[in-house]
Chain A
Amino acid sequence: MAGGHIDIVALTKAFDDFVAVKDMHLEVAAGEFFSMLGPSGCGKTTTLRMIAGFEHPTSGQIILDGVEMSGTPANKRHVNTVFQNYMIFPHLNVFENVAFGLRRQHVARAELKQRVHEALELVQLGHLATRRPAQLSGGQQQRVALARALVLRPSVLLLDEPLGALDAKLRRRLQLELKSLQQTVGITFVYVTHDQEEALTMSDRIAVMNNGRVEQVASPREVYEEPATEFVADFLGVSNLLEASVDGRQGDACRLRIGEFALNAHMGEMSLSGEVKCVVRPERVRLLDYASAGANQLPGMVERVVYMGSATQVIVRLASGGQLQALTHNDGTEHDYQQGTAVQVQLPPDALRILPPVAAQAA
């Protein structure tokens, strides 16, 4: 089944007095690996369930390959789902689970057998066709769920936290497998997750959601490097948030003032004036000797040092008030930061990002 273009227009879903999805606009291109990322309760799963047909929108439209879907029940949509806990039918063996949808379409026996086996081969489960679900590991169940959905050749595959129940190591491996599987079958994947690492690793584009709204839709690199909102910056890994006032422009940079210190910022909304918020990622923060002098530096004092294996997190209390986190890679260089060490924190202009005002974010 070719296609797989999804257009979501002004979609709203309310449950009694709780609005799960608010006036959502989204476009997913055919063949795209698209992720919806956000904390629990942000509306991502509700959106997915509306695309699948399990929930009916309160208002708005879901258009699949040019056809508005509201009148089409779940069992008539060319959309299939991999459920959060897989929902492999426990009373049917692996073969019958995968054949379930084909039997509903009355596919002839020979073709059915062939397609089931192809689907099982695709997920490398050909040898387990006669197993019962209770005898499968979590990873194998996940593959059965994939095969069961893909055998129907949907134009869109919906995946609801499909790796959530698995352990971290298996999850990493399956991330790569899922991505290459998507490239093999070439259909649209809409992937719901609360794990930013999963979303960043696999997606072509990510929609970051919060409180029923889409905060940002962009490529993984963009949402990580250029978060459009405070929420996005925060949700995709810890971000340092600074409050500053704009103090004019300097070339293509914006001059900021934090307390008595001046900084240059290169990224984000450069045309603002007055009070602004800006973010900087911990791994872009550099720690220097207190004695070193230079541009874009803030003095402070180390408050806490947390060893985390590949990196060390240093929390610095700034002289201007507030805290900053710095992440230094444990690449063999010796540092000697201890509680109470006075340091200079350097914030490179191209890492300092001015966020758009809150009112603009909400719109």
Chain B
Amino acid sequence: MSRLRGRSLGSLMLGAVVVAYIAWSLLPVGVAFLFSFNRGYSRSIWQGFSLQWWIGPHSVFRNSTYAGAITHSLLLAGLAVLITVPLGVSLAVLLSRWRGRGTRGLSLLATVPLVVPELVLSLAMFFLVTRLLTFVSLGTPAQVVGQVTFILPLVVVITRGRLTSIPIGFEEAATDLGASSLGAIRLVLLPLLQPAILASAIVTFAVSIDDFVITQYMSSTSATQSVPMVIYNATRGGATPVLNAMAVVMAVTTILIAGLSFLGYRFLVQREQFGALETEPELTAPPITTVPATNEGGW
């Protein structure tokens, strides 16, 4: 009896911690959202409700710097997805299907950017593109290169996770039935990797939108400012609540795109359940855990 009561008290406290954490983690963001409707110019003192930062001449969409930053962030994210996902997925296939010597060295190469602080990687890449690879000019090209380098290892990790649950037997069966080696990868492995490819795209997109350090180091003029850069540069200054409005627009866009892609991911995973026999249930990439688990190293 006492044990039962102790347990339920513990559960209650545990639940309280969870609720408190979630409130703490999200309420400030809600307040920042609220202040985008502030009538005055302050981002900390409430002066009444207004839509002026959302509609009209002062709105975020009419502000060339802020609207430009949103466009630039989306452009960088789109390019990052287009380059990182194919590059990372094919590298993951190489790393997981390579047999014999050299695997460890190759894997190490793909993990370095995950264990080096982003600032150090950014500095290294800044010196690289300004002193040696000068054809990669600072600004959009260097920003894309920087983000791809930074996110590539994450895509490799996500894809390799899925690859380990796909027995090599599928590729062998394809070859046995007459497909070439690359044919087996294209006709069998790639369709089976669809969920991992989509998950990689979501993560790449989210990390790219969120990225600050490498994007800043690789930037040139103010035209190449991403949303996080604008926020960083304007927050301590006298920016109006239109800054909040921009941040919210970006966040909502990210959540919508990620959410929709996630629904697609869930659909793929459920449709692509392997036959009951060849894989243990735990290996068939549970729909939810893979995305957060591989979000690690975010920044």
Contact = CB atoms under 8 A, between A and B. Distances in A.
A and B touch in the complex (CB under 8 A): yes
Interface of A: 52-54, 73-76, 79-81, 83-91, 100-101, 104-105, 133-134, 136, 138, 141, 148-149, 152, 165
Interface string B188-212: 1001100000000000000000000
Closest 3 CB pairs of A and B: A101-B177, A104-B178, A85-B278
B273 interface: yes
B245 to A, nearest CB: 44
A134 B274 contact: yes
Interface in B80-118: none
A105 B178 contact: yes
Contacts of B177: 75, 80, 100-101, 104, 148-149, 152
B178 A152 contact: yes
B240 to A, nearest CB: 52
13 contacts: A53-B176, A74-B175, A75-B177, A75-B179, A80-B177, A81-B172, A81-B173, A83-B172, A88-B275, A89-B174, A138-B277, A149-B176, A152-B178
B45 interface: no
A87 B173 contact: yes
Given A54-B172, A81-B173, A87 B180 contact: no
A62 B37 CA distance: 79
Contact of A85 (B179, B180, B277): B277
Contact of A134 (B180, B183, B192, B276): B276
B169 A74 contact: no
Contacts of A152: 177-178
A165 B170 CA distance: 17
A86 B183 CA distance: 19
B178 A75 contact: yes
A359 B278 CA distance: 42
Contacts of B275: 86, 88, 90, 133-134, 136, 141
B30 interface: no
Interface string B267-281: 000001111111000
A80 B176 contact: yes
B167 interface: yes
A88 B179 CA distance: 15
Given A86-B278, A104-B177, A74 B170 contact: no
Contacts of A148: 177
Contacts of B273: 90, 134
Nearest to A88: B275
Contacts of A141: 275, 277
Given A54-B175, A105-B178, 20 more contacts: A53-B176, A54-B176, A74-B175, A79-B176, A80-B177, A81-B176, A86-B277, A87-B173, A87-B278, A89-B174, A90-B275, A91-B192, A91-B272, A100-B177, A100-B187, A101-B178, A133-B275, A136-B275, A138-B276, A138-B277
B191 A91 contact: yes
Contacts of B169: 83-85, 87
A333 to B, nearest CB: 44
Contacts of B180: 75
Contacts of B274: 90, 133-134
Nearest to A136: B275
B183 A104 contact: yes
A152 B173 CA distance: 13
A75 B278 contact: no
Contacts of A100: 174, 177, 179, 187
A170 B257 CA distance: 49
A75 B172 CA distance: 9
A115 to B, nearest CB: 13
- Considering residues B167, B175, B179, which has the most beta carbons from chain A within 10 angstroms of its beta carbon? B175
Contacts of B191: 91
Contact of A89 (B178, B188, B277): B188
A125 to B, nearest CB: 15
Nearest to A166: B277
A148 B188 CA distance: 15
B193 to A, nearest CB: 10
B277 A165 contact: yes
- Considering residues B169, B172, B274, B277, which has the most beta carbons from chain A within 10 angstroms of its beta carbon? B277
A284 to B, nearest CB: 40
Given A87-B167, A91-B272, A75 B277 contact: no
B182 to A, nearest CB: 11
B178 A87 contact: no
B244 to A, nearest CB: 45
Contacts of B277: 85-86, 138, 141, 165
A352 B180 CA distance: 54
Contacts of B183: 75, 104
A265 to B, nearest CB: 48
Contacts of A104: 177-179, 183
Nearest to B190: A91
Given A104-B183, A133-B275, A89 B170 contact: yes
B170 A87 contact: yes
